């Protein structure tokens, strides 16, 4: 199947973000055959296309990568608002999650995927319960998902994580799995050492929540006499790199470790704002060359799976924190939301719109009032863009969302199934 997209404002995200006017993208099956200036397209393919789409000056760019989320927490959207993180978790979230079945997780993951697609998100880095059900939901929806281990003192095990690592990395090209655990404060030192041993065995990176709140950081230092990242690194957890989710309260010493060990930081500005956790030192991360990506966190702590809102908050809050209107420019934020996310998720084959890469892309409406006038395309996307501008979302060459419709699934059936589960759990 050949799909051809012509007359686009093309942003390939290869190197410095730039706009190619009158761009063309040719997709063959699940891969990009050509992406570049329209006049050069015939050099790559001069035959007929099965589908030809005139983009009419709209943007074509790589899909956004949601580099930290808990998708099935769509169940708990607007369920436990107004609480600080620890109370939110222990009083409301953990007790409800204890009742959650695999089939219910499957349904609410599908609901979350619908929302991802409307936001131009083509892949997520998911950490949640029942990874096999999450993988099944993503496969059934045609959505790309990297899952992260969620080992802690109360659920799962290192042995089960190894089993999932071996099975989910060889099951479906749309699904992959990375080692991880929930957080320092939910894992014993013995458990963390066991995870480090597995990372050594697999020569693999490890990801987890870290340095999200001041309370978390202070309590780790009380327990172990070290800051969170310093403590985790002393156990060998980051010998093969990895990443931390949030990274709000981080010292210079910890940043040295992030830089030295090639540890990514996934920002979650929407969630950190709503839970009053703080503002991450994004400018310092960028100055040090630390790979910095963007995530929404879960739809209960955020409540919205919206990459446009995360992009605006990532730069807006940084400007406030630094007292500098030029801090964290639009092109850096766009990299966080696309290629940087791909890098921390291990999606080397879905980074850019270039020949040979997976055809994971989004079309954004440049004819909407909020995108006019076109003085600076990149700034328009980051500062004035919204979900309403997403015209099309494609994953692995399949159009999963277009002009408000989901051609490969029945959204009303998913809504109905989700509502029935709410009733079963006594939430309705």
CATH number of the domain within which 250 lies:
3.20.20.140
Domain match, 31 and 113 both? no
The pair of three-digit structure tokens given for residue 274, joined into one six-digit string: 């709503």
Residue 93, classified by CB atoms within 10 Å of its CB into exposed (0-12), middle (13-18) or buried (19+), is buried
Q: What pLDDT is attached to residue 160?
A: 97
Domain match, 48 and 99 both? no
H/E stretch holding 38 reads: none
The answer on pLDDT for 83 being more than 90 is no
Choosing from 331, 348, 365, the residue where a domain stops is: 348
Q: What pLDDT is attached to residue 336?
A: 98
Q: What pLDDT is attached to residue 189?
A: 98
Average pLDDT of the segment spanning 166-175: 95
Give the chain's domain count. 2
Among 238, 253, 184, smallest CA distance to 213 is for: 184
The answer on pLDDT for 90 being more than 90 is no
Average pLDDT of the segment spanning 54-62: 98
Domain match, 163 and 23 both? no
Q: What pLDDT is attached to residue 80?
A: 83
Asked if the structure places residue 416 within a domain, the reply is no
Mean pLDDT over all residues of the chain?
96
Q: What pLDDT is attached to residue 399?
A: 98
The answer on pLDDT for 413 being more than 90 is yes
Q: What pLDDT is attached to residue 306?
A: 98
Share of the chain above pLDDT 70, in %: 100
Domain match, 282 and 341 both? yes
Q: Which residue has the higher pLDDT, 123 or 155?
A: 123
Among 30, 32, 31, 26, smallest CA distance to 47 is for: 26
Among 193, 135, 143, smallest CA distance to 164 is for: 135
Domain residues for the domain of 327 are: 64-348
Domain match, 300 and 367 both? no
Q: What pLDDT is attached to residue 84?
A: 82
In whole angstroms, what is the distance from residue 161 CA to residue 27 CA? 36
Compute CA distances 137 → 111, 269, 385, whole Å.
10, 27, 29
Looking at residue 384, which CATH number applies to its domain? Answer: 2.30.40.10
Asked if the structure places residue 420 within a domain, the reply is no
Domain match, 46 and 192 both? no
Domain match, 238 and 358 both? no
Domain match, 126 and 180 both? yes
The answer on pLDDT for 428 being more than 90 is no
């Amino acid at each position: 199947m050949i799909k051809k997209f012509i007359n686009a404002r093309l942003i390939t995200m290869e190197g410095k973000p730039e706009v190619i006017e009158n761009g063309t993208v040719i997709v063959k099956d699940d891969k990009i055959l050509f992406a570049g200036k329209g006049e050069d397209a015939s050099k790559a393919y001069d035959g007929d296309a099965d589908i030809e789409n005139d983009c009419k000056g709209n943007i074509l760019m790589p899909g956004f990568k949601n580099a930290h989320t808990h998708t099935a927490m769509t169940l708990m959207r607007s369920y436990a608002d107004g609480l600080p993180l620890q109370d939110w978790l222990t009083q409301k979230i953990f007790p409800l999650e204890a009742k959650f079945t695999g089939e219910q997780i499957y349904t609410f993951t599908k609901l979350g995927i619908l929302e991802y697609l409307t936001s131009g998100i083509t892949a997520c880095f998911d950490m949640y319960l029942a990874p096999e059900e999450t993988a099944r939901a993503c496969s059934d929806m045609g959505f790309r998902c990297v899952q992260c281990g969620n080992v802690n003192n109360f659920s799962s095990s290192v042995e089960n994580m190894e089993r999932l690592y071996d099975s989910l990395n060889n099951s479906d090209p749309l699904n992959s799995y990375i080692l991880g655990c929930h957080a320092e404060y939910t894992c014993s030192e013995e458990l963390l050492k066991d995870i480090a041993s597995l990372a050594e065995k697999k020569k693999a990176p490890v990801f987890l929540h870290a340095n999200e709140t001041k309370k978390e950081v202070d309590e780790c230092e009380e327990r172990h006499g070290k800051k969170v990242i310093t403590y985790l690194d002393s156990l060998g957890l980051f010998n093969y790199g990895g990443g931390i989710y949030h990274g709000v309260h981080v010292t210079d010493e910890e940043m040295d470790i992030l830089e030295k060990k090639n540890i990514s930081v996934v920002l979650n500005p929407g969630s950190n704002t709503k839970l009053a956790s703080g503002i991450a030192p994004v400018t310092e991360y960028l100055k040090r060359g630390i790979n910095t990506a963007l995530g929404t966190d879960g739809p209960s702590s955020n409540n919205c799976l919206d990459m446009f809102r995360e992009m605006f908050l990532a730069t807006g809050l940084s400007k406030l924190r630094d007292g500098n209107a030029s801090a964290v420019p639009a092109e850096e934020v766009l990299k966080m939301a696309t290629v940087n996310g791909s890098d921390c998720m291990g999606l080397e084959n879905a980074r850019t719109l270039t020949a040979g890469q997976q055809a994971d892309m989004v079309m954004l409406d440049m004819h909407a009032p909020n995108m006019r006038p076109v003085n600076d395309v990149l700034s328009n996307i980051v500062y004035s863009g919204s979900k309403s501008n997403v015209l099309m979302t494609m994953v692995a060459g399949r159009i999963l969302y277009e002009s408000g419709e989901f051609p490969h699934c029945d959204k009303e059936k998913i809504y109905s199934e989700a509502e029935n589960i709410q009733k079963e759990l006594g939430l309705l």
